[in-house]
Structure 1
Amino acid sequence: MPAWAETIRNLCASLFLGVSLAGSAGAQTSDLVSNNALRVCADPANYPMSSKEETGFENKLAELVAAKLDLPVQYTWYPMATGFIRNTLRAKQCDVVMGYAQGHELVLNTNHYFTSVYTLIVAQEGDLASVQSLTDPALKGQRIGIVAGTPPAAHLARNGLIGKSKAYNLVVDRRHESPASDMLDDLTAGVIDAAVLWGPLGGPLVKTDYPGLKVIPLIKEELPPRLFYRITMGVRQGEKVWQRQLNSLIRRNQDEINALLVEAGVPLVTDLGTEVMEISN
């Protein structure tokens, strides 16, 4: 969810509990996974991904998985910042992180269940509505909101757009500060002319709260760093049995997962980040 490189690489999260491939709540595994509940560790204030009110799309995904496993959902809440994995998953307070970028060593990744991309967000009827890439000359001289330290910042710098950009904090306690919402509020108020946000953050927020804005997936950037990421569920290192169970669940229920994400407003792209996936909901 979710807009932020490190948030994506290190923090994004949700959890799933252990049970059998067939979904039996009484099944046992060799891993240290509860068989009484789907124990999910999540940020209590990371809407639209997760929230203590359980309104985020990762909360709904947890409900879907728990239903397939015939288990209740049980949360351990912890701010998605430094120490999140250490104090939740590694401390065995939970058994799965719902959203985690593929390839990070802090967790054992499942197979990815969606791929998304950073987006450019502009006024739906404005002069920038036809822009498709950060290389577009129409962005010259524009005030662009960017989360500091995220991959798109390198693209803004390369294209001479960083000078007038407005930076928003990357790692924050979202109970007190919401960079994504602050950025979209500034865009609506005319403080900035465009916003660059991680798609699973920007897409759902625009869908629910900012109807006058347009979300443009940045799939046409040809130079590094890449702007798309494959999102997995994260489990404890070494828990291969649990990982395989979740892989099977993802494979068997991919269509329902896709529909849930599309309904939430998450922009989905192909595995190589080159095309937007057209999925009806």
Structure 2
Amino acid sequence: MIFGFRHFKPWPAAALAVAAAFAAVAPAGAQTSDLVNRATLRVCADPADMPLSNEKGEGYENKIAELLAQDLGIPLIYKWFPQATGFYRMTLGVKQCDVVLGVAAGADPYLNTNAFMRSTSILVVKKGGPLEGVDALSDPRLKGKRVGVIAGTPAASHLIRNGLMGTAKPYSLTVDRRYESPADDMIKDIQSGAIDAGILWGPIGGAAVKAAGDMSSVPLVKEKGAPPMSYRITFGVRPGEENWKHRLNDFISKHQAEINKILASYNIPLLDERDQPLPVTQ
């Protein structure tokens, strides 16, 4: 997949205004009339893209899909396809499935639901190390340090702005997750001392930090200027499928607390609309 941001657009996207009341009053049949097959929930997902999804059902998108299928009262099945060029065309585009569970707000060619999470990048350092407590890239303690960054992501622009790119170590943006994991590689490099710190997209890096055990992370919510570091993440459906979008908005609204618990269990930093961290509830 394009590591760090699925279907990413490097500029801020406004949240879509929707009529939540529609979902509460429209007939159930009309709400799912856009589905390829109303007898099943067909989810488009990557078979090897942890912590988002995998064929074993271990990712947070898998858990949200299970919750959605339960809410709809129909069986869940997947259309597996790697998050790479052609993903939309070979999944939603040819009606092999009906929803993608992690799309940046405003990403083309999707029709976005309301956001089910807002998250940001994180700064990862060793627990108890000299950089623990650093919560902004402008901190003087980072001067001259080697910071890992996923090439081509917003974090790279902020490293340049703060004069840190000269000593930074880039990691690949586009990888085959069956064989490579930039997040795990970055964590290992911090552990070995090859780099002093690393920046990862929170919904991916949070789980890697939790698994490592000896790492500390903070959400980067103090960075100024463009591009933004925090983004709204939505479900993505086919353009024109307004009924289905409204039904999914109803699900998100009704189950937001449960969704937040799922996300928190993967150590994902969740933000409110002011970019302030939400309380952790697991």
If the length of structure 2 is used for normalisation, what is the TM-score? 0.90
CA-CA distance at 1:279 after TM superposition: 3.2
Amino acid at match of 1:4: G
Q: What residue ranges of structure 1 are gaps of 5+ in the alignment?
A: 11-19
Matching residue of 1:125: 128
User: Aligned equivalents of 2:257 and 2:35: distance in 1?
Assistant: 29
- Specify the alignment match of 1:66 in structure 2: 69
1:263 match: 265
Query: What do residues 119-166 of structure 1 show as CA deviations (whole Å, max 9, x unaligned)?
Result: 100011100001010111100111111000000100101111111111
Superposed CA offset, 1:150-197 (max 9, x none) = 001001011111111111111111112111111112111211110100
Q: Does 1:35 align with 2:74?
A: no
Q: Does the CA-based 8 Å contact 1:2-1:49 persist in structure 2?
A: no
Moved more, 147-156 or 76-85: 76-85
Q: Contact 1:23–1:69 (CA<8 Å) still a contact in 2?
A: no
Pair 227,85 (structure 1): closer, same or farther in 2 beyond 3 Å: same
Q: State the alpha-carbon separation in 1 of the partners of residues 159 and 261 from structure 2.
A: 33
SS in 1 for 2:93: coil
Deviates most, 122-131 or 27-36: 27-36
Q: Distance in 1 between matches of 2:165 and 2:245?
A: 41
Structure 2: distance between partners of 1:63 and 1:29: 17
TM-score of the superposed pair, with normalisation by structure 1 = 0.90
Question: Which residue among 197, 215, 218 is the counterpart of 1:216?
Answer: 218
Q: Is the 8 A contact 1:119 1:216 kept in 2?
A: yes
Cα distance between partner residues in 2 of 1:215 and 1:105: 31
Mark the CA change 1:260 to 1:23 in structure 2 (over 3 Å): closer, same or farther: farther
Q: Within 5 Å, give how 1:11-26 maps onto structure 2.
A: none
SS for the counterpart of 2:44 is strand
Secondary structure of the structure 1 residue equivalent to 2:84? coil
Separation (CA, whole Å) in 2 of partners of 1:28 and 1:113: 19
1:4 maps to what in 2? 4
Q: CA offset at residue 44 of structure 1?
A: 1.0
1:220-277: CA deviation from partner (whole Å, max 9, x where unpaired):
112211100000000001000000000011111111111111122111011232x111
Q: In structure 2, what is the equivalent of residue 239 of structure 1?
A: 241
Preserved CA contact (<8 Å) 1:135 1:159: yes
SS of 1:112's equivalent in the other structure is strand
Residue pair 2:50, 2:59 contacting (<8 A) in 1 also: yes
How much has 1:8 moved relative to structure 2?
Answer: 3.8
Amino acid at match of 2:216: K
Alignment of 1:7-156 (within 5 A): 7-9=7-9, 29-156=32-159
**In structure 2, which of residues 230, 251, 254 is the aligned counterpart of residue 252 of structure 1?**
254
Query: Could you tell me which of 181, 186, 210 is aligned with 1:183?
Result: 186
Match of 1:279 in 2: 280
- Summarize the alignment of residues 198-213 of structure 1 with structure 2, pairs less than 5 Å apart: 198-207=201-210, 209-213=211-215
Q: Give the C-alpha shift of residue 6 in structure 1.
A: 5.8
In 2: Cα distance, 1:41 partner to 1:181 partner? 25
- In the alignment, is the contact (CA less than 8 A) between 1:42 and 1:50 conserved in 2? yes
- The 1:225/1:163 distance shift into structure 2, 3 A limit, reads same
Distance 1:205 1:234 in 2: 25
Residue 41 and residue 55 in structure 1: after superposition, are their counterparts in 2 closer, same or farther (change >3 A)? same
Q: Distance in 1 between matches of 2:64 and 2:9?
A: 20
| Unmatched segments (≥5 aa) in structure 2 | 11-22
Structure 1 190/200 Cα, relative in aligned 2: closer, same or farther at 3 Å?
A: same
- In structure 1, the partner of 2:19 is none
Distance apart, 1:29 and its partner CA = 4.0
Q: Which residue of 2 aligns with 1:226?
A: 228
Contact 1:110–1:246, Cα closer than 8 Å, also in 2: yes
Q: Cα offset for 1:33?
A: 3.2
